[in-house]
Structure 1
Amino acid sequence: MQLTISYLYKVPKGPVITCFTEEMNIETALELEADLQKMGRVREIVFQNNNGERFLRKELKAFIEKIQTEPHDVYVYFDGGYEIEYGRAGLGCAIYYEKSGEMYRVRKNALVDELTSSNEAEYAALHLAVQELAMLGIRYQPICIKGDSRLVINQMKEEWECYDPVFLTWADRIDARLAESGLEATYLHVPRKENSEADRLATQALDGVQIESQIVIEQP
């Protein structure tokens, strides 16, 4: 979660000025707040996240403690495969997150037959992953989404224009789902080797093997 800080600064023998910081992570924000308190000229220090929620120091620390018992530090992998001869697609996603000091892995795949291309299958796989995030109750935090589809990643980042109406529809659905959950997605293109787990899930779906699991894994 990224935060900004607003505060009132009393200029020596001068006016009171309202100041705002750039975004920073929680640890940096708390360190800065502690330094500002030492100055003796600062008051009404307020933290604010990207969802517009405002916290005083005690409220922020209580919020952080609450986060630790809920899913956080979320990473998502997605992949889609398409069989032209059969007109069907396999979708796969793997989600990693921490909760109460433990690391969890969720895997999910699906077989669908209403799609028309491998690129659409990639979009559908990402949509499947976003739906799964909602099912897990993951809300109001940054997440990292990784995939080996350069087209989907760059279009979702809005670095590439999207002219295909089908892809636009999928992108709008995904953005809407993320917005509903208050999730701030960062998209990262990765090599196929790094995305092998989601690729395997998509292939298993095409082979008729349904996967839906959630386990605790050992952290390195």
Structure 2
Amino acid sequence: MYVTIEWFYKTPKGTETVFHSAELPAAQALLLAEDMERTGRVKSLHFIDRQENDWSLKELKAYLKEIETEPHNITVYFDGGFDIATRQSGLGCAIYYEQNGKSYRLRKNAFSSELQSNNEAEYAALYLALTELELLDVHHLPICITGDSQVVINQLNGEWPALERNLASWADKIDAKLEALHIQPDYKLIARQENKEADKLATQALKGIAITGASELLK
């Protein structure tokens, strides 16, 4: 989760003002806030998340402690590939997350012969990723959903309308899954070269190479 610190500052002579920080990861914001409190010049201090929810220092501490043993700080990469000649698709996703103080990466791909276009394959790849999040028991968390498909990202964040019936159906399925898991998505469009891992997984699926599993990322 990312938050902004709202710091009501008071000088020794009683002059007061309000400062707002840049957006920060919640754990980093908490460390800074605790350091601010040690100055003795904090009149009050709050945290504002991306959904405009207001958190106190105590509430944010409790939240971070609660999610420590569960997957959190999640970033999803997805990509879909469609072979026009064979009418076959490859789906790929990579999920990065933290749990119990460690960092992990989950990779998953899948083959499909039931999709009709590259855009539909992109949607199916994202749905595959959300299914993996459900298996990880991810819920009630903000996540970053990252991909190079302008169609999928812009349709899901509401900037573009989903006029094709099959794509609108996929968008509805994804919205329903996110709502069921109480996940707040933050959609991020990236360049194709930044999405090489998910692209490779999708290509491997098209070649009949199945990839699945999670591994710890050593620092």
Tell me the TM-score range normalised by the shorter chain.
0.7 to 0.9
1:17 is matched with none
CA contact (8 A) 2:30 2:57 kept: no
SS in 1 for 2:74: strand
1:216 shift after superposition: 0.1
2:211 matched to 1:211? yes
Q: In the aligned structure 2, how far is the partner of 1:67 from the partner of 1:51? A: 18
Q: In the aligned structure 1, how far is the partner of 2:4 from the partner of 2:218? A: 34
CA contact (8 A) 1:51 1:140 kept: no
Q: TM-score, normalised by structure 1?
A: 0.77
The residue identity in structure 2 corresponding to 1:94 is A
Q: How many residues align?
A: 201
The residue identity in structure 2 corresponding to 1:144 is C
2:86 is matched with 86
The residue identity in structure 1 corresponding to 2:103 is M
Q: In the aligned structure 2, how far is the partner of 1:178 from the partner of 1:133? A: 10
1:156 shift after superposition: 1.0
Q: CA RMSD in A?
A: 3.2
2:101 is matched with 101
CA contact (8 A) 1:147 1:153 kept: yes
Structure 1 residue runs of 4 or more that deviate by more than 4 Å after TM superposition: 2-5, 32-35, 45-60
CA contact (8 A) 1:4 1:29 kept: no
**Structure 1 residues 69 and 209 mapped into 2: Cα distance closer, same or farther (>3 Å)?**
same
1:19 is matched with none
Q: Deviations over 1:169-212 (max 9, x none)?
A: 10011111111111111111111111011011001111011110
**Structure 1 residues 56 and 75 mapped into 2: Cα distance closer, same or farther (>3 Å)?**
closer
CA contact (8 A) 1:51 1:182 kept: no
2:17 is matched with none
1:123 shift after superposition: 0.6
Q: In the aligned structure 1, how far is the partner of 2:2 from the partner of 2:96? A: 20
The residue identity in structure 2 corresponding to 1:138 is V
The residue identity in structure 2 corresponding to 1:186 is D
SS in 1 for 2:127: helix
2:11 is matched with none
Q: TM-score, normalised by structure 2?
A: 0.77
**Structure 1 residues 77 and 3 mapped into 2: Cα distance closer, same or farther (>3 Å)?**
closer
Q: In the aligned structure 1, how far is the partner of 2:141 from the partner of 2:52? A: 12
Instruction: Report 1:102-181 matches (<5 A).
Output: 102-181=102-181
5+ long unaligned stretches in structure 1: 6-23
SS in 2 for 1:80: strand
2:192 is matched with 192
1:61 shift after superposition: 2.3
1:57 shift after superposition: 5.3
1:88 shift after superposition: 1.3
**Structure 1 residues 198 and 47 mapped into 2: Cα distance closer, same or farther (>3 Å)?**
closer
